[in-house]
Chains A and B, each alone.
Chain A
């Protein structure tokens, strides 16, 4: 069941999501509410998880390259797998699979 904190956030984002003439537990806006998750780094995602890119903190050159490969704020990103011995990560954005190192993945913030 949704907590008060989530309710607060929801009502902030969508001021009229609560429909007064319906009981709380039958309110679609509240039933789909997810608990608030703070942003995390791409490298801390687990295989199979899907998240949204929130921000990219790299130098200009790498940022350009990432943009061209499809890393844009707001895009969905799925972590496919991680290589052994803290090797690279395989991620999927749209139809493209990309390999990148943990160091680079730590500079990309995502939100589940």
Chain B
């Protein structure tokens, strides 16, 4: 099969183009370095199947960061039949250097000037014909985001694929000589073909940044935005979740229960109270997930993350981290796994490890589900959003505390140099695709972990058959009372202990397993929790859930990314210890104060 590789600097829209080409929904965002893995997809071009590979963005072919090495190795091992070089047309004057480096590899290349729409707005005019002549390769204007120029590009790709790459010459590059050569080439081509206004006009980005990056207002605005986002998620998400819950309850009563009424009692119990209740409770979170990731997509795509890095770097530096670590913490709010992988753009191993140590404290969307449910069950509508916000603050606090404690073990002097992209707004299509992608992922996990999880919980709380369901005599009861001495000091009941054990695998199971343990779902489960727990216990439970390890996938990713089992165990052990200590301090403190 012939192959096409997408190459270019970070944040030039390679993944957006990749998504457009392959119809996939890989993650895009206005943050340099969002793609850290090789992605590939197969498409039908003309009348043959072609493999398209999306490579991580690189600044130059001689770079030393992990992603740059990945790209180099990839190109050496798999010479693509065609390389699509994606350049950001608004930064053409410096992106040419990478193009000229790549040109020396003698690959079969097409140059795509992406973000042609933005360049036009900035008053940058590029003479594509002349440039094509000067470079000796075909050039096309494109807006991968809106699709302008896409049909022409596709045609050119199909045509170019007929002539394959002549092969990679074994050129050992004399760095200095080449850089000088590239410099001369660049000036020559730019002078002939590009006109850039001598001073950029006072555009929207500049005007917005006056406030967003204001010396004194910047940080308060940042926290204000975060607060509003979380408020909005709770405000819109909670009623939606309630609605879906009611729908599932109605389905159970009017369709599922009558259908199963002929089956034996135990199997009916397993299917209804086990599988159905568990899955219905988890599935009720779908609207919340969609909403959350719509907001995340907006924050990521607008380019605000780099602003957050700017605002927080001074503080992060004091904790041995940098602005990028902070952005990864923010990304961890969606899911910790891609955030851990995103640390690959850091070159210093110490900085990477310290960042990976703090990321699991980010309150991810799976934990959010647990908190939204419990907050709504135990706190009044006025207080619940504040409780949720306090958990976000504690999530940061745990990360900061951890970094402070361990920064001396992971000293680094990695330079912090980062591009600040202009503000962009995601298209509706991009937002919907992101939302769909996350729901798909969620349902995919649900079908794997959650079904097995809730069935196991049901078995644990209903076996041996001699014991009354969910009583102290069941296996779950025995396990719970065995662990009781450990969890009693932090106010966590044996029932909740079972939920925590399953939460170790994935936090999505926590509420599902509570539904199975109590044999209730939706509104009824909230009611049962409110009776069983007081707010101090509930908060202590949430605190523990927040801090003790996110999920099995995160642990596996930690191991893979750090390439060290020792580091993984350390991270796991530390989070368990910290979770217990903080819950203990909170629970005993609150009780001592008479709550």
Given contact pairs A69-B94, A83-B311, A101-B415, A94 touches B196 in the complex (Cβ within 8 A): yes
Contact residues of B between 391 and 408, Cβ < 8 Å to A: none
**For the complex, what is the distance from the CA of A42 to the CA of B183, rounded to whole Å?**
23
Q: Is the CB of A68 within 8 A of B97?
A: yes
**For the complex, what is the distance from the CA of A95 to the CA of B422, rounded to whole Å?**
10
Contact with A along B487-508 (1 / 0, CB 8 A): 0000000000000000000000
Partner of A95, one of B9, B91, B219, B317: B91
Contact with A along B460-496 (1 / 0, CB 8 A): 0000000000000000000000000000000000000
Query: Is A88 close to B, CB under 8 A?
Result: yes
Q: Is the CB of B216 within 8 A of A95?
A: no
A10 to chain B, nearest CB (A): 24
Residues from chain B with Cβ under 8 Å of A90 in the complex:
213, 310, 420
Q: Is the CB of B64 within 8 A of A85?
A: no
Query: Is B98 close to A, CB under 8 A?
Result: yes
A1 to chain B, nearest CB (A): 28
B118 to chain A, nearest CB (A): 10
Contact residues of B between 299 and 327, Cβ < 8 Å to A: 306, 309-311, 313-315, 317, 322-323
Contact residues of A between 52 and 100, Cβ < 8 Å to B: 58, 61-62, 64-70, 72, 80-88, 90, 92-100
Count A-B pairs with CB separation below 8 Å: 116
Partner of A99, one of B63, B179, B317, B420: B420
- Interface residues of B, CB < 8 Å — how many? 43
Given contact pairs A94-B93, A95-B122, A84 touches B419 in the complex (Cβ within 8 A): no
**For the complex, what is the distance from the CA of A14 to the CA of B179, rounded to whole Å?**
30
Query: Is B124 close to A, CB under 8 A?
Result: yes
Residues from chain A with Cβ under 8 Å of B592 in the complex:
none
Given contact pairs A83-B311, A83-B314, A99 touches B122 in the complex (Cβ within 8 A): no
Given contact pairs A69-B59, A85-B315, A97 touches B420 in the complex (Cβ within 8 A): yes
Contact with A along B164-194 (1 / 0, CB 8 A): 0000000000000001000100000000000
Q: Is the CB of B97 within 8 A of A67?
A: yes
Query: Is B62 close to A, CB under 8 A?
Result: yes
Contact with A along B219-232 (1 / 0, CB 8 A): 10000000000000
Q: Is the CB of B313 within 8 A of A101?
A: yes
Query: Is A103 close to B, CB under 8 A?
Result: yes
A76 to chain B, nearest CB (A): 9
Residues from chain B with Cβ under 8 Å of A97 in the complex:
419-422
Closest to B190 in A: A94
Which one of B91, B216, B415, B418 has the greatest number of beta carbons of chain A within 10 Å? B415
**For the complex, what is the distance from the CA of A53 to the CA of B60, rounded to whole Å?**
21
Residues from chain B with Cβ under 8 Å of A101 in the complex:
313, 317, 322, 415-417
Query: Is B215 close to A, CB under 8 A?
Result: yes
B149 to chain A, nearest CB (A): 20
Q: Is the CB of B313 within 8 A of A83?
A: yes
Q: Is the CB of B60 within 8 A of A95?
A: no
Closest to B216 in A: A84
Q: Is the CB of B314 within 8 A of A84?
A: yes
**For the complex, what is the distance from the CA of A17 to the CA of B151, rounded to whole Å?**
56
Contact residues of B between 198 and 249, Cβ < 8 Å to A: 200, 209, 213, 215-216, 218-219
Given contact pairs A61-B347, A84-B216, A85-B315, A100 touches B94 in the complex (Cβ within 8 A): no
Closest to A88 in B: B313
- Interface residues of A, CB < 8 Å — how many? 33
Closest to A81 in B: B213
Residues from chain B with Cβ under 8 Å of A65 in the complex:
59-60, 63, 415, 417
**For the complex, what is the distance from the CA of A68 to the CA of B101, rounded to whole Å?**
11
Contact with A along B138-165 (1 / 0, CB 8 A): 0000000000000000000000000000
Partner of A98, one of B98, B218, B314, B420: B420
Given contact pairs A69-B59, A70-B94, A95 touches B417 in the complex (Cβ within 8 A): no
Which one of B200, B209, B315, B420 has the greatest number of beta carbons of chain A within 10 Å? B420
B188 to chain A, nearest CB (A): 15
B423 to chain A, nearest CB (A): 11
**For the complex, what is the distance from the CA of A93 to the CA of B60, rounded to whole Å?**
18
**For the complex, what is the distance from the CA of A64 to the CA of B65, rounded to whole Å?**
11
Residues from chain B with Cβ under 8 Å of A103 in the complex:
415
Query: Is B537 close to A, CB under 8 A?
Result: no
Query: Is B90 close to A, CB under 8 A?
Result: yes
Q: Is the CB of B98 within 8 A of A68?
A: yes
Q: Is the CB of A96 within 8 A of B419?
A: yes
**For the complex, what is the distance from the CA of A100 to the CA of B317, rounded to whole Å?**
12
Residues from chain A with Cβ under 8 Å of B313 in the complex:
83, 87-88, 99, 101
A19 to chain B, nearest CB (A): 28
**For the complex, what is the distance from the CA of A80 to the CA of B206, rounded to whole Å?**
10
Residues from chain B with Cβ under 8 Å of A98 in the complex:
417-420
Contact residues of B between 418 and 439, Cβ < 8 Å to A: 418-422
Residues from chain A with Cβ under 8 Å of B94 in the complex:
68-70, 93-94, 96
Contact residues of B between 254 and 275, Cβ < 8 Å to A: none
Contact with A along B323-342 (1 / 0, CB 8 A): 10000000000000000000
Given contact pairs A84-B314, A85-B315, A98-B417, A72 touches B183 in the complex (Cβ within 8 A): yes
Q: Is the CB of B314 within 8 A of A68?
A: no
Q: Is the CB of B418 within 8 A of A104?
A: no
**For the complex, what is the distance from the CA of A30 to the CA of B213, rounded to whole Å?**
41
Contact with A along B82-111 (1 / 0, CB 8 A): 000000001101100110000000000000
Q: Is the CB of A95 within 8 A of B416?
A: no
Closest to A104 in B: B415
Given contact pairs A67-B179, A83-B314, A84-B216, A95 touches B59 in the complex (Cβ within 8 A): no
A-B CB contact pairs (8 Å), 23 listed: A61-B63, A61-B347, A65-B417, A68-B9, A69-B59, A69-B417, A70-B91, A81-B215, A83-B313, A84-B218, A84-B314, A88-B313, A88-B314, A95-B122, A95-B196, A95-B200, A96-B94, A97-B421, A99-B310, A99-B420, A101-B317, A101-B322, A103-B415
Give me the 6 closest cross-chain CB pairs, A-B, nearest first: A87-B314, A68-B59, A70-B94, A97-B420, A85-B314, A68-B60
14 extra interchain contacts, Cβ-Cβ under 8 A, other than A66-B417, A72-B183, A95-B93? A67-B97, A68-B9, A68-B94, A70-B91, A70-B93, A82-B215, A83-B218, A83-B314, A86-B314, A87-B317, A97-B421, A98-B420, A99-B416, A104-B415
